[in-house]
Amino acid sequence: MAAQANQGLKTKKRFSLFTYLKETKQELKRVSWPTKKELLKNTGVVLTVVISSTILVWALDSVLSGALKLILK
């Protein structure tokens, strides 16, 4: 019974660096790369969100820090 269960399993493939690199190269050919315009636009969006989030966290930290100082006085 155990032999029948093992027949359906594939044998374990050995790792081959050459095969890995070949398959990676093939996969990269199928990637849809952004145009320069799309890249610049998306980079601008990311930077805007990161800067806005940083300012928001800083402001929230300042307010809560000030409130904690008033409470502990």
Residue 64 lies in a domain: yes
> What is the distance between the alpha carbons of residues 42 and 33, in angstroms, rounded to a whole number?
13
> Could you read off the pLDDT of 6-33 as tens digits, one per residue?
555 566 778 899 999 999 999 999 999 9
Residue 5 lies in a domain: no
User: Exposed e or buried b for every residue in 11-20, given b needs 16+ CB within 10 A?
Assistant: eeeeeeeeee
Residue 61 lies in a domain: yes
Residue 9 lies in a domain: no
- pLDDT band for 69, please (50, 70, 90 cuts): very high
Query: Where in the sequence is the domain holding 37, given as residue range(s)?
Result: 17-72
pTM of the model: 0.59
Residue 1 lies in a domain: no
Domain count along the chain = 1
Element counts in the chain: helices (H) and strands (E): 3, 0
Residue 2 lies in a domain: no
Residue 53 lies in a domain: yes
Residue 46 lies in a domain: yes
